[in-house]
Structure 1
Amino acid sequence: SGLAVGGWNLAGFTATALTGTHKLTDITGTSAFAVSALASLGLLASKRGLKASLSPRPIMLSVCVTAWAARLGGYLFDRIRKSHEDPRLKYMFRKEGEPMLTGPSAFPLKLLNFWSIQALWAWTSMLPVTMAIAAAGDPKKVMRTAPRSISSLALGIGFVGFSTGFLVETLADSQKSQFKNDVTNPRRDKWCDQGLWSISRYPNYLGEMTVW
C-alpha cells in the first residue's frame, strides 16, 4: 500500500514538474487513496486467496474509499480546470531564466516536498483501512476476531456514518460551487452562507471527518 501510494504520487510529481501543470495535484492526491485500497485488496487476494478479498469488510472499505476519492477528485479537478491555477503551487515553479535549485522557487525541491507530504498524508490516513483489509485475511494476526453479530453491526454503523458524511460533503461542495459560479449573485466573492453553509462554517470538512 505504501509503495503504491508513493509510486502514484511520484508519477504525479514527475508529470507536474515536466509539464508545469497545476491540474494533477489534487486528483493524484485523492486517487492515491483508491490506489492504496485496491492495492491492499490485491495483496490480500494474492496472500489469502480470492475468497478472502471478496468478503464483506474489504469490499465495503474499498468501494467506500474509491467512491470518496472519485467524487472529491472529480470535484477538485473540475475546479482547477476552471481556475487554471493552484495558489499553493504558484511559487513552486521556476520563472523563465531562473536557475534550478538555487532560485527563489528552489525548483524542484519545494515541489517535491509538497508532493512528499501529500503522499505521506494519503498513506497515514489509509493505515486503518489497510489494516482492516489485511485483518479480513487473518483476523487473529492483526486484531482479535469479533463475533459475527458484532462485526456485522460495526460494518453497518460504519457504512451509515460514511454515507452520511459523503452526502454532507457532496452537498456542501455543490452548494458552494453554485454560490461562487452564479454570475447574478453580487456576493459570490464573499463567504458562502447558503444551505449547509448557513448552519456550519465548514460543512464540507464536517462531512469529510464523518466519512473517515
Structure 2
Amino acid sequence: MDPSYFTQIGKVLVPTLLADFGIQITCWSISAFLQTEKFYDLAGSTSFILCTFLSLYKPWDENSIWADGKSPSAHLRVIHPRQIIASGTTFVWAAYLGLFLFSRALKHGDKRFDKIKKVPGLFLVYWLVQGIWVALTALPVYMTNSIPASVHPDLGLQDYFGIALWGTGFAFELIANYQKQKWRKEIGRDYKRSFISTGLWSLTRHPNYFGECLLWFGSYLFCSSAFSAALESPAPIMSHWMSRLAVFSPMFVTILITRVSGIPLLERENDRRLKDVVAYWKYKKATSMFVPTLPRRNVE
C-alpha cells in the first residue's frame, strides 16, 4: 500500500480519533473518582461535536484550512457545502441526543452502571467502547471533511437523497422520544405496568432506534458522494479500501442497536416487566420490532 494514501485522510483521522479517546479517558477518570455515570452520554455527544469540528477545521494543518496556505488574516476558510451540511447535521443530532440523554440520566440514572461504576477498570471498558462508537459512527463525516474542498463534486441527486433520509430518520427519533416522554408523564406511576402503543410506536416497537439507524445511512450516502472524486483525484487522496471502510458506519450502528445494546436489552427488560400484561404480548405480536409497518390485525 502506497503510504501517500494515508497522507490526506490519516492526518485528519489520527488527531480526530486521539481527541475522541482523550475525552473518554479524561471523563472516565473524573466519573470513576465520583462514582457517577451521569456524564457518560454527555461525554459521548461532546466527543461527536468536538471530533466533527476538528475534522472540519483541522487547526493543526494550516494548508488545509486556507485557500493557499498563506496568512489566515488575508484569506477565508475553504469549506465545501457538503462538508458544512455533513458536519452541521452531526452537530444537531449530537447536541439533541446529548441533552436528551443527559437530562434523563439526571432524573432517572442509568441502571447499566449501578455496579460497574464502582469498579474503575470495568468502568473504563465502557468508556473505551463509547470512544469506538464515536469513531465508527461518524467516520464518513470525518472522512468527507478530510477531502479538500477543491476535490469535492457539486451536490447531486445522491446528496439530496441522503439528506432526505437523514431528515426522515432524525424526525422519527425526535417525534418518538417526544411521544414517549409525553406518554410517560401522563401515565405517571402506572409506567411500570404499562407500555406505549400510540403514534409512531404503533408502527414499530422501537421507532427512535429505527430513526437513529436511518439517519446514519443517510449521512453515509451524503458523505460518500465525495469518495469517488477523491479516488479519481490526480494526487492520491484515498484508497479503494478506505472508501469502503466508511460503509461500516451505518452497518455498525444498525448491528449495535438491533443485536447488541439497544433493542435486545429493552426487549428483555419489557418482557420481564410486563410478563403478566396480556395487552403487551398482543402488541408485541402485532407490531414490527424495527422497520415501521402497519400493525397486523386480529392477533390473539
Please, what TM-score do these two structures have when normalized by structure 1?
0.82
Distance 1:69 1:189, change over 3 A: farther
User: Counterparts of 2:133 and 2:168 in 1: how far apart (Å)?
Assistant: 23
Match of 1:72 among 88, 97, 101: 97
Q: Which amino acid aligns with 1:133?
A: N
State yes or no: 1:160 paired with 2:164: yes
1:26 aligned residue: 41
Q: Which amino acid aligns with 2:123?
A: L
Task: Give the superposition deviation at 1:136.
Answer: 3.6
Q: Which amino acid aligns with 1:70?
A: A
Task: Give the superposition deviation at 1:138.
Answer: 6.4
Taking the TM superposition and a 5 Å limit, the aligned residue runs for 1:16-95 are 16-43=31-58, 46-50=62-66, 53-83=78-108, 85-94=109-118
User: Counterparts of 1:13 and 1:197 in 2: how far apart (Å)?
Assistant: 35
Task: Give the superposition deviation at 1:30.
Answer: 2.1
Task: Give the superposition deviation at 1:53.
Answer: 4.5
Task: Give the superposition deviation at 1:37.
Answer: 0.7
Task: Give the superposition deviation at 1:90.
Answer: 0.7
Distance 1:134 1:189, change over 3 A: farther
| Structure 1: runs of 5 or more not aligned | 95-106, 140-144
Paired positions, count: 191
Q: Which amino acid aligns with 2:62?
A: S
Distance 1:184 1:5, change over 3 A: closer
2:139 aligned residue: 127
1:172 aligned residue: 176
Task: Give the superposition deviation at 1:183.
Answer: 4.4
Q: Give CA deviations for 1:152-204 in whole Å, capped at 9, x if unaligned.
A: 33322222211111111000011111111224574564222121001111100
Q: Give CA deviations for 1:6-56 in whole Å, capped at 9, x if unaligned.
A: 111122212211212221001111221111110101217734224565220
More displaced, 12-21 or 41-50? 41-50
Taking only the aligned residue pairs, the percentage that are identical comes to 29
Match of 1:201 among 205, 216, 221: 205
Task: Return the index of the structure with the highest Cα Rg.
Answer: 2
User: Counterparts of 2:29 and 2:144 in 1: how far apart (Å)?
Assistant: 31
User: Counterparts of 1:187 and 1:131 in 2: how far apart (Å)?
Assistant: 43
Distance 1:159 1:53, change over 3 A: farther
Secondary structure of 1:10 counterpart: helix
Q: Give CA deviations for 1:64-89 in whole Å, capped at 9, x if unaligned.
A: 00100001111111111111x21111
| Structure 2: runs of 5 or more not aligned | 1-15, 68-76, 217-300
RMSD over aligned Cα, in angstroms?
Answer: 2.1
Secondary structure of 1:93 counterpart: helix
User: Counterparts of 1:210 and 1:28 in 2: how far apart (Å)?
Assistant: 23
User: Counterparts of 2:63 and 2:92 in 1: how far apart (Å)?
Assistant: 25
Distance 1:156 1:46, change over 3 A: farther
Q: Which amino acid aligns with 1:86?
A: D
Please, what TM-score do these two structures have when normalized by structure 2?
0.59
User: Counterparts of 2:48 and 2:150 in 1: how far apart (Å)?
Assistant: 23
1:210 aligned residue: 214
Match of 1:192 among 190, 196, 199: 196
Q: Which amino acid aligns with 2:173?
A: E
